[in-house]
Structure 1
Amino acid sequence: EYGWHYGFGLAGIGMLAGLLFFWSGIRNNVFGDRGKAPSEAVLAKPLIGVPQRIMVPILAFLFVPVIALLLSSYKPISPEGGFFDDQNIVNIIFKLIGITVLGYLGYIIFKATPDERKKLIMAVLITLFMTVFWGFHELSGSVITLFADRNVNLEWIDAAQSNAINPVFIILLSIPISLLFTWMSKRNLNPRTPYKFGLGLAFAGISFYILALSGGSADENGMVPFSYLMIMYFFLSVGELFMSPVGLSKITDLSPKRIVAFMMGVWFLSSAFAFQIVGFIGKQLAIESDNPDVKGFETLEVYTGGFELIAQYALAAAIIVLVTAPLMKRLMGNVH
């Protein structure tokens, strides 16, 4: 209605308010020693001749314009073809970072003690499964939004606003689901992390099957009821709550203290790599047409067929996780 700058500006204000609130907790010692450096000596250790306490934030700020410049020049290196076909400097740097991180991670696992090695392998596995989930989940910002625009009777919102359905469900469901896990823990019924991940992927598969089935309720214009989109986001949000916060906490529990920060970086990097999956699926479901307003039955079959295939992959991943869950439980050791 007013422009994207107002939306992003409002998000920035919210982030700043959260940062100030968190900072006040640090100043009032609400968190105790949690998150602090192991010792003052670590902070004073020089990095390029400057104490890390000073150099780290300086480097962080200096990289902001560098990254902005890279993103502003997001163009294929060689559109005509060849090794760099459809590649750009951002993608190449991104892949090099991924290879470097994987190599270093392999080195850490090799040098770890047997118990640490098992837990680190488990941390890598849940990161991999989370990447698969995000790869399907983040289609909400591309393919699912286009589907909503072209094939859903949105009634009281537009396609872009349909992206708010998932966060609304997250806000509404996060406390009930956390209370459910707490209630189950008190009765020794709370499933271990692998089972929650398997269920989360299963919920993702169900959500996409719902969209695949929506084609059977299309009207004469190839438009499906809005309720299909709502129910789909409900199941996808439940799957997210079964996986994302659980996996985030398990990364810290499974990682040796000396590399917790590094493993947290690997965890968040996985969500970035998930967009490689998003990009691939988006290309497969792209509508080839000179008319940007094409919709109805011309696009319905493409989307519902693609959603059915995604559902099958998600459910297959869920089955793999659930079948191998006993083995993964052993890898976790005493971590619940």
Structure 2
Amino acid sequence: MDIAKGIMIVSWIFVIIWVPIIIFTNRKLHPKALFVCFFAEMWERFSYYGMRTLLILYMVKELFVDMSFADADAKSLGIYGSYTAMAYLFPVIGGVLADKVLGFRKAILFGGVMMMIGHFALALEGMYFHGNLNLFFLSLAFIIVGNGFFKPNISSFLGNFYGLNDSRKDGAYTIFYMGVNIGALLSIVTCGYVGERISWDYGFGLAGIGMLVGLLVFWLAGPKIFGKKGINPASLETFPEIDEKEDIKLLHATTEDRNKRLEEEANNFTKIDDPKLKKKQLITILAAIFFVPICSLFLNLSDLITIILVVLSIGILGYIIFDARNEEKPVQQKLWVVVVLFLFHAIFWALFEQAGGSITLFTARNVDRMVLGSELPASIFQFFNSFFIILLAPAFSWMWIKLRSKGKEPSTPMKFVLGLSQIAVGFGILVIGGKFFANEGLVPVIFIVLMYFFHTSGELSLSPVGLSMITKLSPKKMVGFIMGIWFLSISLGNKLGGLIGELTAVEGGSENPTVMETLNAYSSTYLTWGVMVVAIASGILLLMVPTLRKWMHGIH
């Protein structure tokens, strides 16, 4: 029996049943725009994670197979860290360009097209130009640049359909985040199985098809559901603030009442017919395309990327603090909260993103993957993160609303403490499994499953509420920019994660180290960075929670 194929089939059946249930149970609470963005992001993440689940294994087993064991690991993890870092770096620029030039909808569609081209180019590299590093890096660059336009803007765009302090907002972003992980789940079990069992290029090609579906969902459903929102650059839109109670009433209203609301909204919309703006939009698109080959060159310069990210992070955070001096005190302090949580957010992702890098290699080498007489592909284990999110996201969404109604919901900074703490617990479980329960260097599969469970609950405590927090704490004129900066913290975390992953590469001795040597290298690195460093960071943040809550001025 092929367990991997069974997991793939069951996952598709589960999602086909589960998604309609989520939509049906939330249809009277949230606007339809949430579900369009949900589906578009779901298929975009199908493409991103479908490719990512294969990337590190493809590099180690195919592209750099002629190198020594340690060199192949180090080079692959360095490239992986640079790729994921740049994928989250470019949203800083993409958010600004959507705010000032393109508008949310054009930015999202353009970014999706670029990503689709990158995925299909990766498939071509595997089919017809195997081992061509120039095409490999160029393909990744298309995905990086496209992600910069797509990722921050669909998250920010969703916030336009809720009021500033709308009590539904955290729940909406949790549901939206579940869409991310539905796409990730399906892509990991599908592209992972196809890539490892059939052909790498077929796996990459499936990721491109997922991106195409996401584009079609957003493009075809958007005009009817979104109305006029997102057509103009965000800085030029002048829609009235949404009233939560009135908005919920409209969800129960007749079609005639809804159409009347859309007409009123249209009356407040001024279409910008400015030749200069159109010229800027064209120049922006052409410049992004021109930048793709330049971006591809940086993928092989790991140390330079690290320096750029550190300098850029310091510079942008310094700019926010300096520029905030011109704002009123409450606005200043809200931005200070963003700056502080930026740093802890980066630490979280540096360890969490080991999943697609060193933990995938650890799973391939040091986890007993035999289940019911069938060996699971290493890439498929990443699906546990998405699977647990799909199960737990509705519970977390309900829990936050319930706790808030009783006045007991943890503040956003406290949720960050909970997220970091659970990362440390997850790595602690993995280290215990390696130290005390490994059999001939192979850790029982239950330990990797438990690690993913705690990392997932930590992610749900921190990540979706972080997205919601940005739309609440940011001045309206710079939401896209601040959202981009938030993704910069993920970028920095991913690059630091690549550097931490490189520490697991076994140096010296034989070119092909024993299973025990690799287990000791992984266990030592995870104990130091995944347990001790993260535990210290969560303790420091816990001490800062009262001050950060005060600076948020009632935003929750």
TM-score exceeds 0.5: yes
Residue identity matched to 1:63:
A
TM-superposed CA distance for 1:42, in Å, is: 9.3
TM-score (normalised: structure 2): 0.53
C-alpha distance in structure 2 between counterparts of 1:314 and 1:42, whole Å: 49
Identity of aligned residues (%): 33
Residue identity matched to 1:212:
V
| Residue of structure 2 in register with 1:123 after alignment | 338
C-alpha distance in structure 2 between counterparts of 1:41 and 1:171, whole Å: 40
TM-superposed CA distance for 1:224, in Å, is: 0.9
Q: How does 1:172-191 map to 2 (within 5 A)?
A: 172-191=391-410
* Structure number with higher relative contact order (C-alpha < 8 Å, ≥ 6 residues apart): 2
Q: Which has the higher helix share?
A: 2
Unaligned runs of 5+ in 2: 1-196, 238-268
| Residue of structure 2 in register with 1:80 after alignment | none
4+ long deviations beyond 6 Å? none
| Residue of structure 1 in register with 2:500 after alignment | 281
Higher mean displacement: 25-34 or 2-11:
25-34
CA spacing shift, 1:229–1:59, aligned 2, 3 Å: same
- Are 2:316 and 1:101 aligned? yes
| Residue of structure 1 in register with 2:463 after alignment | 244
- Are 2:444 and 1:225 aligned? yes
- Are 2:210 and 1:23 aligned? no
Residues 56-109 of structure 1 deviation map (CA, whole Å, 9 limit, x = unaligned): 364235323523443246445xxxxxxxxx644x55655564454334323322
- Are 2:522 and 1:303 aligned? yes
* Equivalent of 2:427 in 208, 219, 231: 208
TM-superposed CA distance for 1:34, in Å, is: 6.9
Higher mean displacement: 123-132 or 33-42:
33-42
CA spacing shift, 1:62–1:103, aligned 2, 3 Å: same
* Equivalent of 1:5 in 198, 201, 223: 201
C-alpha distance in structure 2 between counterparts of 1:202 and 1:236, whole Å: 9
C-alpha distance in structure 2 between counterparts of 1:224 and 1:252, whole Å: 42
CA spacing shift, 1:328–1:304, aligned 2, 3 Å: same
CA spacing shift, 1:92–1:206, aligned 2, 3 Å: closer
Residue identity matched to 1:332:
M
- Are 2:546 and 1:331 aligned? no
C-alpha distance in structure 2 between counterparts of 1:144 and 1:51, whole Å: 49
| Residue of structure 2 in register with 1:82 after alignment | none
* Equivalent of 1:51 in 270, 276, 286: 276
Secondary structure, aligned partner of 1:28:
helix
TM-score (normalised: structure 1): 0.85
Q: Note if contact 1:151-1:299 (Cα within 8 Å) is conserved in structure 2.
A: yes
C-alpha distance in structure 2 between counterparts of 1:92 and 1:55, whole Å: 31
| Residue of structure 1 in register with 2:348 after alignment | 133
Q: Note if contact 1:151-1:295 (Cα within 8 Å) is conserved in structure 2.
A: no
C-alpha distance in structure 2 between counterparts of 1:64 and 1:167, whole Å: 32
C-alpha distance in structure 2 between counterparts of 1:24 and 1:218, whole Å: 52
- Are 2:540 and 1:320 aligned? yes
The number of residues matched between the two structures is 321
- Are 2:483 and 1:264 aligned? yes
